[in-house]
Structure 1
Amino acid sequence: MFRTPGLVLFVLCLSTVSRVAALDISLQHKGKAQHAPGAVVWLEAKFSLPDHSLRDNKSPAGSEQPPVKVIEQKNRQFDPYISVARLGSNIQFPNRDNTAHHVYSFSKPLSFELPLYKKRTPAPIQVENPGLIALGCNIHDWMIAYLVVVDSPFYGQIEKDSVNFKELPHGHYTLKLWHPDINNGQALTSDLDFQGQTKHNIALPKEVNARAQIAAPQERLDEDEDY
């Protein structure tokens, strides 16, 4: 059967574009499901990605603005406790409390301070280096949160028991996982050869005992601080 070069090229392009599939990733230790809500999972491709796969799926379609991640101060806690953002994102720290907070980080990827403020949102801070950013409040020492900055369009967080990647191109990846109570707070790294399988389990070195975020002491919640 005779095929024109144009038709062959069209079929090859169609085949390449269609080589994406959904993948559900969960955590296990010795075959037993592990629970670590909020754990950050991301995939770093070991191959050249097509242009359409490089767009951050957390941004509105067609948007040229960097993604925005919001980390609130609410009830004298950071919310959410664990966040993930793509490199280049703008991070906002709105204070929803009636008391002032002094947000800061001394982490290597991003060191900054937002001096005392309340009931407002300071100008966003752009993250320009990948890595783990530990957040604190200089007034309320129990306020701790974590932001993981990744240089990849494929990232998410464990909800209930798993995280789902809806349109993942076939290929070889470095799979990374981070949670403060897994692997002594160090990213857990493994290889993934994704060829369309629907599920993948990350093997953990030991069982997870995920601690809850530290709550504000009730007596401090009852105080009417003013700075």
Structure 2
Amino acid sequence: MNAGEPLLSLHGASKSYTLGGNTIRALHSVDLALARGEIAAVTGPSGSGKSTLLNLCGLLDKPDGGELLFDGEPLPAEHEARRTRLRRQAIGFVFQGFNLVPVMTAHDNIDYPLYLLGVSAAERRQRVLQALERVGLAGLGGHKPDQLSGGQRQRVAIARAIVKRPRLVIADEPTANLDAQTASQIVGLMRALAHHDGTTFLVATHDDRMLPHCDRALLLDDGVLKGTFHAH
């Protein structure tokens, strides 16, 4: 692994879907390199391909054409076992709808990814408490999602994404519907993780408040990467 090498890169990545007998081009020949410790925002109108790009980079989906590399090594679609392992161990996800399990406490929602990885109970407890403190929710681990505000639920979702210490976090509209103060706290947390831990973030957003805090923004339009600009 070369430290100067991108964590993840796409070369000529394309993706199409068939809907009602029609072929819809979601992404067309996208080239992208994500550096270690970078926060990259993906912007563009609804239907521009942002979710598809996040799904490809999060290894939730596979490109129809082109190449994806992780740590400089090609990751072909047929390498399903390696893709699954990377998705579980190296990638965290923050979904727009939080995707928290309603009957589980904040602590148990955050604990679940570590449980799936086979981490010991003692280490899981320590890391969950650390994650709760890091997102400003120390003491609220026993609360269920319906006992938390929208901003608190978003912070639980971020804690769940970072508790396994991922190298890449995929976040879909992480500040949507949050007030200015909570949005600022979320962005500040992401910057701290990127700076101190070297975590890479790929964020889809319509929120202009986020852009000044990102290293760069990518403009997608009709499945085509139209440009990149430094956001601050």
Tell me the TM-score normalized by structure 2. Answer: 0.31
Structure with higher strand content: 1
More helix by share: 2
TM-score when scaled to structure 1? 0.31
